[in-house]
Chains A and B, each alone.
Chain A
Amino acid sequence: MKLIKNNKVVKLSFVALLITVAAAMFYTPTASAHGEKSQAAFMRMRTIHWFDLNWSKEVVPVNDTMTISGKFFVFSGWPETVDKPEVSFLNIGIPGPVFIRAGSWIGGQAVPRSVSLELGETYDFKVLLKARRPGDWHVHTMLNVQGGGPIIGPGKWVTITGSMSDFVNNITTLTGETINLETYNLENTYFWHAFWYAIGLAWLFYWARKPMFIPRSIAVEAGKADSLITATDKKVAMGFMVGAVVLVAVSYANTEEQFPVTTPLQAGLLRGIKSIQMPAPTVSVKVEDATYRVPGRAMQMTVTITNNGDSSIRLGEFQTAGVRFMDSAVAQDDTGYPDDLLAEDGLTVSDNSPLAPGQTRTVNITASDAAWEVYRLADLIYDPDSRFAGLLFFWDESGNRQMTTIDAPLIPTFI
């Protein structure tokens, strides 16, 4: 009897089998969030501008909390190619649940669900994290936009110390019990899975204890199929079936009795999220031209600034895609902003003397730093819509800050 025609087929099927088994079993949910560099530059420059960010701690012991707070501006010149943030979710970019998200708020409203955001608005946000797994983790701000994907903000290294086995996640339910969500229901889950698996194995071995394939196949081909199922088999089978149904009913009733109060999963979009009322800027900025000099890793722009306020102003910071170019003579960072995203003296203005009220001046601004290359912002010049955008921060005599946005075409120069 020649069972299988070709040895090669056997080998190939075996390889294919191993691949499918492996492919399915090695599937791991996405844990990494270090995609900010690979995200198209225009996405980072023209969607969500994160600013005033603060990571409350750099070292956190297991079970302790830290917050990431700040503001984000939903850019008015949102690119056509990305869906508007009508359904978005305030996430956090960490490699899996190394922290648990103990809370998140936009404009003071808790946002465990998706929210609807408006273009041109600024929102303040806060994410409360509780340390769970020791290690050095890059913690990014992150907003997911339906149809637009994840928009990853700046990241900072945070160290968690201690041991994960000490982690507890105590929650008090509305029925008055306090449970540790880290291990709650775990034994019950293992029990029921093991229980049903054992019953399945029992059914399989009931049949496998007798000769299976060759003799039964011969009997079926000889027309004696009916003889293969005995009266005992039928009784046992009925026992299994009735038993299974009864056990399901009993386990269901027991669960209902033990947990009389249950509710459906909660979902739904949160609308009406409050934005910050930003004071209307008294300074107006017009971009005359902007170029990116590839060899010098510097962006140069000519802008005309008009001061319509009643205090003289100076330009202190240009921020785009989370990279902050500052003029240290005007403003410094004191929040411990990540080094790689901070160019303390990266901003040069041809004339940065205070601009008196009512005056207009045209200046050359240079923003230069290795971050252009490191964060691949320079790739903007290869984007289909080669525009750049960012925030300009001005300070007046009494130290008040105001924010304006710029959005203009960018011309690369290669020499």
Chain B
Amino acid sequence: MSASQSAVRSRAEAVKVSRMFDWFILWAIFFVVLGGYHIHYMLTGGDWDFWSDWKDRRLWVTVAPIVAMTFPAAVQACLWWRYRLPFGAVVCVLGLLLGEWINRYLNFWGWTYFPVNFVFPSIFMPSAIVLDVVLMMTGSMTATAVLGGMAWGLLFYPSNWAVIGPLHVPVEYNGMMMTLADLQGYHYVRTGTPEYIRMVEKGTLRTFGKDVAPVSAFFSAFVSILIYFLWHFFGRWFSSTDFVKSA
């Protein structure tokens, strides 16, 4: 096919082809992101996202937003700077959550029989919406990294509290106090995840006393800002057209 010949003959036809192309690309982005982001998040966030008894107010709050900041930053870079489309972060999170839910429902529940109320994924959507809107309103990478990255980290714990809060109700069990989430981890036997692997309530933020979640969230937000910059540049580089322009 020569570059000088057009495949369409009328404006209407051009619009139609363009729309088909839109849906095709959106579909492709969605699944590429689903695959890449999901596997990345599983390898880095892994157990913190799999089990309710890992979702603590220190490390989960810190780790999850940091490792999840990657793909949204990169995809935003591509979709915004080339198309002015402000849904990079949301499309990432939609893909991630779909992949996670399929995995949790079919494998964790359907195959291994862990109850879904123990293995549900984390919520990222409010953080993603704010990140996209900040980029759209400011049109600035720096502002998005700083304001959006900060919001990304800070919104994470409160967004998830509606789901995990009920699991933090205390219970006395065999003479010890634990939360319902701890009890889920104890009841639903994981041979490959002994209790000592669990990274909860560890860290050096104890000097802040009772309110560790906000402190962890601020730390997470700060690192998310840095990760945003880094992955935004990956995204820019990846979406540059240098390698196809030659034709």
A200 engages B35 (CB within 8 Å): no
B21 engages A213 (CB within 8 Å): yes
Instruction: Give the complex CA separation of A398 and B149 in angstroms.
Output: 76
Instruction: Give the complex CA separation of A3 and B177 in angstroms.
Output: 62
* Distance in Å: Cβ of B105 to nearest Cβ of chain A: 10
Q: Mark B1-40, 1 if CB is under 8 A from A, else 0.
A: 1010000000000010011011101100001101110110
Instruction: Give the complex CA separation of A229 and B1 in angstroms.
Output: 34
B42 engages A261 (CB within 8 Å): no
Q: Given the interface contacts A28-B108, A216-B83, does A101 sit within 8 Å of B186 by beta carbon?
A: yes
Which residue of chain A is the closest to B125 with respect to CB atoms?
Answer: A196
Q: Which residue in B161, B180, B182, B244 is a CB contact (below 8 Å) of A255? A: B161
Residues of chain A within 8 A of B132, CB atoms compared: 203, 237
A91 engages B194 (CB within 8 Å): yes
Q: Does residue A175 face the partner (Cβ distance < 8 Å to B)?
A: yes
Q: Does residue B128 face the partner (Cβ distance < 8 Å to A)?
A: yes
Q: Does residue A11 face the partner (Cβ distance < 8 Å to B)?
A: no
Q: Does residue A186 face the partner (Cβ distance < 8 Å to B)?
A: yes
Residues of chain A within 8 A of B128, CB atoms compared: 200
- Contacting B at CB under 8 A, from A90-107, are 91-94, 96-103, 105
A263 engages B168 (CB within 8 Å): yes
Interface-facing stretch out of A65-73, A204-212, A281-289, A364-372? A204-212
Residues of chain A within 8 A of B74, CB atoms compared: none
Residues of chain B within 8 A of A248, CB atoms compared: 126, 155, 158-159
What bracket does the count of chain B residues touching chain A fall in?
A: 35 or more
Q: Which residue in A3, A174, A208 is a CB contact (below 8 Å) of B171? A: A174
- Contacting B at CB under 8 A, from A1-59, are 1-5, 17-18, 20-21, 23-33
Instruction: Give the complex CA separation of A173 and B173 in angstroms.
Output: 9
Which residue of chain A is the closest to B210 with respect to CB atoms?
Answer: A264
Q: Given the interface contacts A174-B177, A196-B123, A265-B179, does A241 sit within 8 Å of B129 by beta carbon?
A: yes
Q: Which residue in B1, B32, B244 is a CB contact (below 8 Å) of A4? A: B244
Residues of chain B within 8 A of A240, CB atoms compared: 129, 133
Q: Mark B126-158, 1 if CB is under 8 A from A, else 0.
A: 101110111011000000000000000001001
Residues of chain A within 8 A of B200, CB atoms compared: 265, 267
Instruction: Give the complex CA separation of A113 and B134 in angstroms.
Output: 44
Residues of chain A within 8 A of B174, CB atoms compared: 103, 105, 110, 112
Which residue of chain B is the closest to A102 with respect to CB atoms?
Answer: B187
Q: Does residue B67 face the partner (Cβ distance < 8 Å to A)?
A: no
Interface-facing stretch out of B91-99, B218-226, B227-235? B91-99
A200 engages B187 (CB within 8 Å): no
B94 engages A200 (CB within 8 Å): yes
- Contacting B at CB under 8 A, from A206-252, are 207-208, 211-217, 219-220, 225, 228-229, 233-234, 237-238, 240-241, 244-245, 247-249, 251-252
Instruction: Give the complex CA separation of A1 and B1 in angstroms.
Output: 8
Q: Does residue A314 face the partner (Cβ distance < 8 Å to B)?
A: no
Q: Which residue in B82, B155, B159, B188 is a CB contact (below 8 Å) of A97? A: B188
* Distance in Å: Cβ of A144 to nearest Cβ of chain B: 3
Which residue of chain B is the closest to A103 with respect to CB atoms?
Answer: B174
Residues of chain A within 8 A of B23, CB atoms compared: 208
Which residue of chain B is the closest to A19 with respect to CB atoms?
Answer: B35
- Contacting A at CB under 8 A, from B78-116, are 81-87, 90-91, 93-94, 97, 99, 101-103, 106-108, 111-116
Chain A to chain B contacts (Cβ below 8 Å), 16 pairs = A18-B35, A25-B107, A32-B191, A110-B176, A146-B196, A171-B180, A173-B169, A181-B184, A186-B116, A193-B120, A252-B158, A252-B161, A263-B168, A264-B212, A266-B179, A269-B196
Top 3 A-B pairs, shortest CB-CB distance:
A30-B192, A144-B194, A2-B247
Q: Which residues from chain B sit less than 8 Å from chain A, CB to CB?
A: 1, 3, 15, 18-19, 21-23, 25-26, 31-32, 34-36, 38-39, 42, 50, 53, 55-57, 81-87, 90-91, 93-94, 97, 99, 101-103, 106-108, 111-117, 120-121, 123, 125-126, 128-130, 132-134, 136-137, 155, 158-159, 161-163, 165-184, 186-196, 198, 200-202, 212, 243-244, 247
Q: Which residues from chain A sit less than 8 Å from chain B, CB to CB?
A: 1-5, 17-18, 20-21, 23-33, 87-89, 91-94, 96-103, 105, 110, 112-114, 132-133, 142, 144, 146, 150, 164, 169, 171-175, 177, 179, 181-186, 188-190, 192-193, 196-197, 199-201, 203-204, 207-208, 211-217, 219-220, 225, 228-229, 233-234, 237-238, 240-241, 244-245, 247-249, 251-252, 254-256, 258-259, 261-269
